[in-house]
Amino acid sequence: MRGFPEWITLPSYQSLAMGRLWHFFFAWLFAGAGALFVVYALFSDHLKRDLWLPASQWRGLGRDVLDHLRLRFHANRGGYNGLQKLSYLGVLFVALPVMILTGLCMSPTFNAAAPWLLDLFGGRQSARSIHFIVAGSLILFLIVHLVMVLLSGPFRQVRDMLTGGRRDVT
């Protein structure tokens, strides 16, 4: 019995070896793209300008959480609110690095080169468990993200992504 339908899996037939190859291909692609983005965010103004929370947003974080739970969305005022910034920072600088590091812990070759990393996560099985928990959390983050975009107005959201959130663009 298959856990997922064939049309949603790579490869579409049951092959553990091919599944591992696809997994590693996309893992390295994912890690490389993530590393490039982190370098860009750290060395450009993007991190400070768009993602770092000023004191006013830290103070309003409770209100942002309650507004989101009540599905009250405010018009984008040219940037992210405090909850969005904190979520993106958590994904970019906590979840994704943990995902990559725990993935590396499952490689015997990498364990030989850096055994301290495996010890940091409490062994291979702990690293594997953390890897799956973080993967599930990232999928949940993506689902919540997409639902919030749909609930808050997808056409406005896409327009704001394309125009940078400016209201004067028609």
Q: What is the pLDDT of residues 13-55, one digit of tens each?
A: 777 788 888 888 999 998 999 889 888 888 887 777 777 877 8
The answer to whether position 142 is within a domain reads yes
The answer to whether position 9 is within a domain reads no
The answer to whether position 157 is within a domain reads yes
Nearest to 80 by CA among 113, 54, 115: 54
What residues make up the domain containing 34?
Answer: 30-163
Indicate the number of domains in the chain: 1
The answer to whether position 20 is within a domain reads no
For residue 11, whether the previous peptide bond is cis, meaning omega lies within 30 degrees of 0, is yes
Overall average pLDDT of the 135-147 stretch: 91
The answer to whether position 4 is within a domain reads no
Q: How many CB atoms lie within 10 A of CB 144?
A: 12
The answer to whether position 15 is within a domain reads no
- Report pLDDT digits (tens) over 94-103: 999 999 999 9
Q: Which residue has the tokens 């394309």?
A: 162
The answer to whether position 1 is within a domain reads no
| Higher-confidence position of 25 and 68 | 25
The answer to whether position 21 is within a domain reads no
pLDDT of the residue at 170: 42
CA 137-53-79 angle, 5° bins: 85
Using pLDDT thresholds of 50, 70 and 90, give the confidence band for residue 169.
Answer: very low
Claim: this prediction has a pTM higher than 0.85: no
| Higher-confidence position of 153 and 167 | 153
